Amino acid sequence: MILNEVVPLGRTFAEYKKMFNLNNADLNKKILDCGGGPSSFNYEMKMQNKEVITIDPLYQYSKEDIIKRIDETFNDVMAQAKANKDDYIWKNIKTVEELAETRMSAMKRFLNDFEAGKKEKRYITAELPDLPFKNNEFNLALSSHFLFLYSDVLSLDFHVRSIDEMLRIASEVRIFPLLDLSTDKSRHVKEIIRIYKEKEMLVSIETVNYEFQKGGNQLMRIQNSKI
């Protein structure tokens, strides 16, 4: 990862609950958040005495470097959201101003927690498809706005290797959303369903109570039927 190519954006605990259809039982599981970036999910879970480890290559950088990159990109991102507001569903988030407040609030919580979280090994520098964890170390692995979203540059093989790795360390994987950057359903979705059904996994597509990208209101759930 090269920091000056990254656009950090944070999402909140409330968004994670809706995106991943997390109920109270789910929140009490041992969770791995893959590619969480500057989101506040880890911090807000810790405040509830719940267990999450978040991985991201962003975490190789210092707090000061991440703040600098947020400062360099944030206004441009919000300007683009305003210019392209018809591409989004303003339901969960009502306005561009609320979007800016939500994203910045999440990132500030993350930044205030980042150094302590690194010491406590809640934030770990790592990335798919190679995870530094033991087999079955987690109950649930989450991937938000990474797999499927970047289908133009991440191959089907990359998706399979990443999902295999998440299933190695967790008995259940949830991926959100199923869209690519053009807001079309990812070209890899059908093949991933076929591949994991052939591997005798339980695969389902679920509609969730969260939609920001138009049509981006579905997650994929893959479960190891043998555990």
Whether 78 is covered by a domain: the verdict is yes
Please classify residue 209 by burial: count the beta carbons closer than 10 Å to its beta carbon, then call 0-12 exposed, 13-18 middle and 19+ buried.
exposed
As a whole number of angstroms, the distance between CA 7 and CA 27 comes to 28
Whether 113 is covered by a domain: the verdict is no
The answer to whether 55 and 133 have CB atoms below 8 angstroms apart is no
- 212: domain CATH number is 3.40.50.150
As a whole number of angstroms, the distance between CA 191 and CA 226 comes to 21
pLDDT on residue 206: 98
The answer to whether 137 and 30 have CB atoms below 8 angstroms apart is yes
Whether 97 is covered by a domain: the verdict is no
Whether 161 is covered by a domain: the verdict is yes
Whether 99 is covered by a domain: the verdict is no
As a whole number of angstroms, the distance between CA 216 and CA 88 comes to 9
pLDDT on residue 6: 76
CB burial readout 170-203, b (16+ within 10 A) else e: bbbbbbbbbbbeeeebbebbeebbebbeeeebeb
DSSP structural state of residue 213 = B
Closest to 133 (Cα-Cα) out of 34, 5, 6, 22:
34
pTM of the model: 0.95
In order of 43, 109, 150, 184, the CA distances from 10 in angstroms are 12, 9, 18, 23
Whether 53 is covered by a domain: the verdict is yes
pLDDT on residue 1: 55
Whether 89 is covered by a domain: the verdict is no
Q: What are the residue ranges in the chain where pLDDT is below 70? A: 1-4, 226-227
pLDDT on residue 51: 92
The count of domains in the chain is 1
Helix (H, G, I), strand (E, B) or coil at 57: helix
Whether 109 is covered by a domain: the verdict is no
pLDDT on residue 186: 97
As a whole number of angstroms, the distance between CA 53 and CA 91 comes to 29
